[in-house]
């Protein structure tokens, strides 16, 4: 683990053109251009698809198990990002898990406010089951808002009468749209990627009116009883640190098997920088091993 690597990443994020709280149309273009500049590895193939009427991108890694599926929800504060732009991080996770992956193109705010994203996630998950994939052969994963959406989806599967997947990996989850965590303030000076103002603007886009404590909006307020084993990862240099720690505590109190990994002095979704940050590489490997172990129970 290198201080030089962490410093270089901090400068890269602080000096980058992306402004999460900026004009949403402009930021979508900037984000997609940034992601498009990162080459997809040669062993990764992608194809468009649909699950439950929701567009998805199918991601296949050469040699990966076709029977196991990672159901992936991308980040972007519910307003930017796409299934296609998530392929870099998602495929790296899938490679380490030895599974194929589907990334969901859920609708984005402000054009499609709550509950559009959660409705799409549940519909796509139902579509995966309807395609003949057993819930025991599915794991769910996501980063940032996608990780919060993944946790909310798990909670929403219960009243929908749908079975839980075998496990979930939540990377830097945005799990509280009320922004009530203390780290929103205490970590603001060391977080190079997120700002309280930016998250507040995107929260208003997604929930222009209503209670942001609703369980399928902010899963730290949800009934987490009956959820599958969770791996929650976050960096100590992110304003959403308390979202990860409180979600883990809530899950543990609900008798959920939960593993919380906090990596010191790294930023939001540091796993996405595994190619240049040792801590990201280690965390992503652990996430892949966690998914591989739970998916392997169904395919010994």
The pLDDT tens digits of the residues spanning 198-226 come to 999 999 999 998 889 999 999 999 999 99
**pLDDT value at position 1?**
62
User: What percent of the chain clears pLDDT 70, i.e. is strictly above it?
Assistant: 99
Q: Tell whether the model's pLDDT for residue 38 goes beyond 90.
A: no
Q: pLDDT, tens digit, for every residue of 160-175? A: 999 999 999 999 999 9
CA 168 to chain centre: 10
Mean pLDDT, residues 242-262 taken together: 98
Q: pLDDT tier at 35 (50, 70, 90 boundaries)? A: confident
3-state secondary structure of 44: strand
Contact 169, 291 (CB under 8 A): yes
Contact 99, 65 (CB under 8 A): yes
- Among 86, 268, 279, 294, the active-site one is 268
- Among 86, 144, 172, 183, the active-site one is 144
**Domain-by-domain residue ranges, the chain?**
3-296
Q: pLDDT tier at 297 (50, 70, 90 boundaries)? A: confident
- Among 68, 183, 238, 279, the active-site one is 238
Superfamily holding 3-296: Alpha/Beta hydrolase fold, catalytic domain (3.40.50.1820)
Check if 268 is active-site. yes
Check if 299 is active-site. no
Which of 247, 225, 251, 252 lies closest to 234, judged by CA? 247
Q: pLDDT, tens digit, for every residue of 98-125? A: 999 999 999 999 999 999 999 999 999 9
**pLDDT value at position 298?**
55
What is the layout of strands, in order, in the sheet containing 65-73?
Answer: 44-51, 54-61, 99-104, 65-73, 138-143, 167-171, 230-235, 258-263
Q: Tell whether the model's pLDDT for residue 281 goes beyond 70.
A: yes
Name the average pLDDT for the chain. 95
Mean pLDDT, residues 141-158 taken together: 98
Check if 238 is active-site. yes
User: What percent of the chain clears pLDDT 90, i.e. is strictly above it?
Assistant: 92
**pLDDT value at position 300?**
42
Contact 154, 168 (CB under 8 A): yes
């Amino acid at each position: 683990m290198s201080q030089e690597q962490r410093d270089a990443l901090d400068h890269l994020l602080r000096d980058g053109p992306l402004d999460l709280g900026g004009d949403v149309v402009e930021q979508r273009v900037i984000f997609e251009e940034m992601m498009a500049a990162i080459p997809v590895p040669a062993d990764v193939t992608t194809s468009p698809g649909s699950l439950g009427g929701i567009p998805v991108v199918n991601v296949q890694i050469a040699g990966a198990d076709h029977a196991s599926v990672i159901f992936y929800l991308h980040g972007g504060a519910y307003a930017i990002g796409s299934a296609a732009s998530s392929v870099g991080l998602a495929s790296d996770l899938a490679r380490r898990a030895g599974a194929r992956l589907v990334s969901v193109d859920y609708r984005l705010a402000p054009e499609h406010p709550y509950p559009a994203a959660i409705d799409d996630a549940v519909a796509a998950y139902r579509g995966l089951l309807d395609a003949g994939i057993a819930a025991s052969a599915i794991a769910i994963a996501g980063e940032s808002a996608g990780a919060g959406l993944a946790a909310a989806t798990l909670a929403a599967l219960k009243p929908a009468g749908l079975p839980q997947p075998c496990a979930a990996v939540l990377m830097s989850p945005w799990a509280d749209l009320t922004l009530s965590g203390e780290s929103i303030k205490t970590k603001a000076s060391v977080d190079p990627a997120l700002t309280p103002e930016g998250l507040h603007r995107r929260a208003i886009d997604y929930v222009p009116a209503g209670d942001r404590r609703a369980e399928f909006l902010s899963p730290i307020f949800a009934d987490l009883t009956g959820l599958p084993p969770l791996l929650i990862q976050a960096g100590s240099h992110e304003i959403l640190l308390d979202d990860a720690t409180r979600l883990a505590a809530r899950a543990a109190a609900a008798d959920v098997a939960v593993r919380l990994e906090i990596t010191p002095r790294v930023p939001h979704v540091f796993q996405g920088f595994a190619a240049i940050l040792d801590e990201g590489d280690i965390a992503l490997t652990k996430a892949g091993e966690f998914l591989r172990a739970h998916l392997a129970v169904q395919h010994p």
